[in-house]
Amino acid sequence: MAETGERFSSSFDFMLFVVLFGVFRYSRRKGLRMVGCGLEYKDIETFLEIVRTRNITKAAENMFLSQSTISNRLKHLEDGLGYQLLYRAKGQRLIQLTHFGKEFIPVAERWKNLFEETLLLKEKNMQILRIATNESTYYEIVEPFLKAFLRAWPELKLSLQICDSEHIYDLVEANLVDYGFASYESARNETVSRCINTQKTGLIQYCENPAPIKKIHPKDLDITKEIRYTGGHFDTFNSWYQKWFENPYAFHMSINSPHAALPLLKEFGGWVLCPFHLAEVLSRTMSLQIYELEEPPKDRKIYLVQRKDNGMKSLAIGKAFEKNLMVYLEKMEG
């Protein structure tokens, strides 16, 4: 046992060895060649889904993948095993397994189950959730959600960054965070994004004796007194500025943090556009008059951003995070 302990630094390493060794022994017994033992979880999962549905088209639909991706994964698995799993014929509606394909089903199921168990073991020692969000989404969605979520996962380690939306995409693409919350959609090769919420836009000004929310029309605003809140590329805002101001770029200052704009508002006056909920948060730290715009820009969309190969999806913590987030957002809308 001492020798085993020296070879394997964790139970995760040992269990993974057992899984791969079992597949290797099975392959040797069947006279198969193992090309680098190149088995991957996604390939095994795809094979089992094809077996379950008996149809490649249906398997692709269930896994939200293209048929070519399904076929490529199956081919990669067959190359790793060195043996054909399915018969292929044009116009064939239902798949037909080879003799080895039939025998490989219970092996694939055991492989998948054991691999998932190893991930759970690994997760116990690596429960770190990495999030990046812009400031407005942090106060409106991320902060209140995390308060509830972390009570259910008290041992979870959290890494949280607040930054501009563009940088959020960079962090996700580089696999430096697991989930990003951004205020616009960006086409990146390694990321996927989906709209999860919208934000209405309000206006704030410093005021020693603020009244309840007032209304204001864009034509009554002096753009040379604007402190512009930046942090992304917002086409809806650009078109709004162009509609109401002769020179959309005649603003006084620009800053990427509404909180940082508050001292400037107090010192120099002027106004800032920001999400309505954030305006209410800021009004608790400084005397601000909040305005509702009579002709506002279109609501800003909030996107959840992930890598296409986000490993958190296969872990319990990732599944719980996404499920609880969707439930929380549904309650917000209700």
pLDDT digits (tens, 9 = 90+) for 149-206: 999 888 888 999 999 888 999 999 998 999 999 988 888 888 999 999 999 999 999 9
What is the pLDDT confidence band of residue 36, given thresholds at 50, 70 and 90? very low
Q: Report the pLDDT value the prediction gives residue 126, as an integer from 0 to 100.
A: 57
Asked whether residue 321 carries a pLDDT value surpassing 90, the answer given is yes
Q: What is the CATH number of domain 127-197+301-333?
A: 3.40.190.10
Asked whether residue 101 carries a pLDDT value surpassing 50, the answer given is yes
Asked whether residue 29 carries a pLDDT value surpassing 80, the answer given is no
Q: Report the pLDDT value the prediction gives residue 160, as an integer from 0 to 100.
A: 95
Lowest mean pLDDT among 80-89, 200-209, 210-219, 286-295: 80-89
Q: Report the pLDDT value the prediction gives residue 10, as an integer from 0 to 100.
A: 45
Mean pLDDT of 234-240: 79
Q: Give buried/exposed letters for 247-259 (b at 16+ CB in 10 A, else e).
A: ebeebbeeebebe
Mean pLDDT of 56-76: 90
> Where in the chain are the domains?
2-124, 127-197+301-333, 201-298
What is the pLDDT confidence band of residue 93, given thresholds at 50, 70 and 90? confident
Q: Report the pLDDT value the prediction gives residue 74, as an integer from 0 to 100.
A: 92
As a whole number, the mean pLDDT across the chain is 84
Q: Report the pLDDT value the prediction gives residue 62, as an integer from 0 to 100.
A: 87
CATH architecture, range 2-124: Orthogonal Bundle (1.10)
260-295 per-position pLDDT tens digit: 899 999 999 999 999 999 999 999 999 999 999 999
| Same fold across 2-124 and 127-197+301-333 | no
Asked whether residue 219 carries a pLDDT value surpassing 90, the answer given is yes
Q: Report the pLDDT value the prediction gives residue 231, as an integer from 0 to 100.
A: 64
116-155 per-position pLDDT tens digit: 777 666 655 557 899 999 998 999 999 999 999 999 888 8
Mean pLDDT of 307-324: 86
Assign domain 201-298 one CATH number from 3.40.50.10420, 3.10.310.10, 3.10.20.30, 3.40.190.10. Answer: 3.40.190.10
Q: Report the pLDDT value the prediction gives residue 232, as an integer from 0 to 100.
A: 56
